[in-house]
């Protein structure tokens, strides 16, 4: 038997970084790590250095690596609509239940985000600042030290209105120092999101958690552990805010997706009360079902689970069925691949299904979702346009075309597509809603369409 070749030093270093810091590097990105490895191992040799990284005494070295490798780009009032939703709607909703409100900013870098929450709470007046407790955590010790100093460059304040800057910051030779009453409202801790820390993540610890533009750098299995820990730490019905390009699709089924204006965010699902606790009364009229009549061959249950966003169960049930080349079965499989983040598998099936007239429209839409998740909005827009050419009544296709057109500044095209979406959504096929509704439902999607259309009218 031939022994397997030993992994190269850089491959072992990459694996250690992912294990300890959660940061995932594709092989094409290893060049930047090779330079760090060479620098840190200088004078002692790469093999000895890698061995030392696995020792309990390596804590100080890992702090250095965290400083070198973590991404800290941030500024005050970044993605402001989310922050405004937090202080205007989310936090006030808890005021009748508790005397103190607790917010966690995970991956807070140099502190601009938690301080932004504190500033907006004071500016907008919906929450008594004396009842608000904000905690910022980050794995980078240098960033935490800078956050505690609370002195920032003009570049960090580039989105802060002049009046707010004048009221809450003091000009110093080093930069703009935050006023003490705001600075002292936020506590900072050096903490690694990958560490268990049961006491820190105790149930009911926080009313809201901001984890924005953080998990972009983690592999899916690490993201699942982090999000599960955060779900546990939230109060019942607590909220999670993520970055605009981040999603829980295929990561967690513990949350429902909400939208306020241009802000997307998540709410922890409430447990379903036991049937015995429900009062005996005449049942309310049944709401219209989103799901189409159950397909044959056991796929109806898969579709039902998918519609309920129970993706893990849907996949397990689909795998338990006899393998078939039936187009609807392949479409369900492709959608579940997409929700699990397996974009290559979803795209492969989508291309296959796009050649059949019966599945061309949903398959093109699916391919658009794959491209959008991969960051190719122009390509995604083309695929969504193909979906509505294949099926001129496909409301969801028009909705995505309009949304991406608005982002690209093509306001005329956006208005046309969004008006089509709003007019067609009341008759959208239940199957399309189940496959691609993303938990919104018909009414929620109508609101999204109307809000997007309103945003078009606000463009000068």
pLDDT in tens, 287-311: 443 333 434 456 777 777 766 667 6
Highest mean pLDDT among 10-14, 379-383, 428-432: 379-383
279: confidence class by pLDDT, cuts 50, 70, 90: very low
Tell me the mean pLDDT in the region 172-191: 93
3-state secondary structure the chain: CCCCCCCCHHHHHHHHHHHHHCCCCCHHHHHHHHHHHHHHHCCCCHHHHHHHHCCHHHHHHHHHHHHHHCCCCCCCCCCHHHHHHHHHHHHHHHCCCCCCEEEEEECCCCCHHHHHHHHHHHHHCCCCHHHEEEEEEECCHHHHHHHHHCEECHHHHCCCCHHHHHHHEEEECCEEEECHHHHCCEEEEECCCCCCCCCCCCCCCEEEEEECCCHHHCCHHHHHHHHHHHHHHEEEEEEEEECCCCCCCCCCCCEEEEEECCEEEEEECCCCCCHHHCCCCCCCCCCCCCCCCCCCCCHHHHHHHHHCCCHHHHHHHHHHCCCCCCHHHHHHHHHHHHHCCCHHHHHHHHHHHCCCCCCHHHHHHHHHHHHHHCCCHHHHHHHHHHHHHHCCCCHHHHHHHHHHHHHHCCHHHHHHHHHHHHHHHHHCCHHHHHHHCCCCHHHHHHHHHHHHHHHHHCCC
| Residue 226, token pair as written in the block | 């982090």
Q: Per-residue pLDDT for 379 more than 60?
A: yes
Q: Order of strands, edge to edge, in the sheet holding 169-172?
A: 151-152, 175-178, 169-172
Mean pLDDT value of segment 231-239: 95
Q: Of 226, 239, 237, 234, whose CA–CA distance to 202 is shortest?
A: 234
pTM over 0.85: no
| CA-only gyration radius of the chain, Å | 25
Q: Which of 88-97, 215-224, 265-274, 428-437 has the highest mean pLDDT?
A: 88-97
Closest to 140 in 3D by CA, of 205, 217, 199? 217
Q: Can you tell me the mean pLDDT for 411-422?
A: 86
pLDDT score recorded for residue 288: 41
Say yes or no to pLDDT of 100 above 60. Answer: yes
Q: Classify domain 299-457 by CATH architecture.
A: Alpha Horseshoe (1.25)
Going from N- to C-terminal start, the domains of the chain cover 9-69, 80-268, 299-457
33 pLDDT more than 70: yes
Whole-number Å distance between alpha carbons of 169 and 178: 5
For range 321-337, the mean pLDDT: 80
Section 1-7 average pLDDT: 50
- Give the integer Cα–Cα distance in Å for 447 and 225: 32
How confident is the model at residue 136, as a pLDDT?
Answer: 95
Least confident of 79-88, 269-278, 283-292, 425-434: 283-292
Assigned token pair, 422: 């709003």
How far is 392 from 212, CA to CA, in rounded Å? Answer: 37
Pick one of 3.30.70.100, 3.30.70.2390, 3.40.50.150, 3.30.1360.30 as the CATH number of 80-268: 3.40.50.150
In this predicted structure, the answer to whether residue 5 has a pLDDT above a threshold of 80 is: no
For β-strands 101-106 and 132-138, DSSP reports them as parallel
Indicate whether 82 pLDDT > 90: yes
> With 0-12 CB in 10 A as exposed, 13-18 as middle and 19+ as buried, what is 344?
exposed
Predicted confidence (pLDDT) at residue 1 exceeds the cutoff of 70: no
Exposure string for 110-129, b = 16+ CB within 10 A, e = fewer = bbbbbbbbbbbbbeeeebee
Of the candidates 37, 69, 206, 210, the residue with the CA atom closest to the CA atom of residue 141:
69
Task: For residue 440, name the pLDDT band (cuts at 50, 70, 90).
Answer: low
């Amino acid at each position: 038997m031939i022994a397997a070749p030993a992994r190269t030093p850089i491959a072992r270093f990459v694996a250690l970084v992912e294990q300890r810091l959660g940061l995932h590097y594709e092989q094409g990105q290893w060049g930047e790590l090779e330079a760090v490895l060479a620098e840190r191992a200088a004078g002692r040799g790469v093999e000895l250095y890698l061995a030392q990284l696995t020792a309990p005494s390596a804590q100080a070295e890992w702090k250095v690596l965290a400083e070198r490798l973590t991404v800290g780009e941030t500024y005050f009032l970044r993605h402001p609509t989310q922050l405004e939703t937090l202080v205007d709607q989310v936090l006030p909703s808890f005021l009748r239940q508790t005397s103190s409100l607790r917010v966690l900013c995970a991956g807070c870098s140099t502190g601009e985000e938690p301080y932004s929450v504190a500033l907006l709470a004071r500016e907008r007046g919906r929450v008594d600042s004396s009842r608000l407790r904000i905690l910022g955590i980050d794995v980078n010790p240098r960033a935490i030290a800078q956050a505690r100093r609370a002195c920032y460059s003009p570049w960090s304040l580039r989105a802060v209105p002049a009046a707010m800057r004048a009221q809450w910051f003091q000009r110093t030779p080093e930069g703009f120092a935050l006023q003490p009453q705001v600075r002292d409202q936020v506590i900072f801790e050096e903490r690694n999101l990958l560490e268990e820390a049961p006491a820190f993540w105790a149930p009911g610890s926080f009313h809201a958690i901001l984890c924005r533009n953080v998990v972009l750098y983690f592999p899916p299995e690490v993201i699942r552990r982090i999000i599960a820990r955060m779900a546990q730490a939230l109060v019942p019905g607590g909220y999670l805010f993520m970055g605009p390009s981040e999603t829980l699709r295929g990561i967690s089924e513990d949350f429902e997706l909400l939208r306020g204006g241009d802000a997307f965010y998540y709410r922890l699902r409430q447990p379903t009360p036991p049937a015995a606790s429900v009062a005996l009364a005449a049942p309310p009229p049944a709401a219209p079902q989103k799901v189409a009549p159950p397909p044959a061959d056991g796929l109806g249950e898969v579709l039902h689970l998918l519609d309920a966003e129970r993706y893990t169960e849907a996949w397990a049930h689909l795998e338990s069925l006899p393998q078939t080349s039936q187009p609807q079965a392949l479409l369900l499989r492709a959608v579940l691949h997409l929700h699990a983040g397996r974009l290559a598998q979803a795209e492969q099936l989508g291309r296959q299904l796009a050649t059949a007239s019966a599945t061309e429209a949903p398959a093109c839409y699916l391919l658009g979702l794959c491209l959008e998740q991969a960051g190719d909005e122009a390509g995604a827009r083309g695929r969504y346009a193909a979906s509505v050419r294949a099926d001129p009544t496909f409301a969801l296709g028009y909705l995505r075309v309009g949304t991406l057109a608005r982002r690209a500044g093509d306001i005329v095209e956006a208005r046309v597509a969004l008006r089509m979406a709003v007019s067609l959504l009341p008759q959208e096929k239940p199957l399309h809603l189940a496959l691609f509704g993303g938990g919104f439902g018909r009414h929620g999607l109508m609101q999204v369409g109307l809000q997007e259309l309103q945003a078009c009218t606000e463009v000068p």
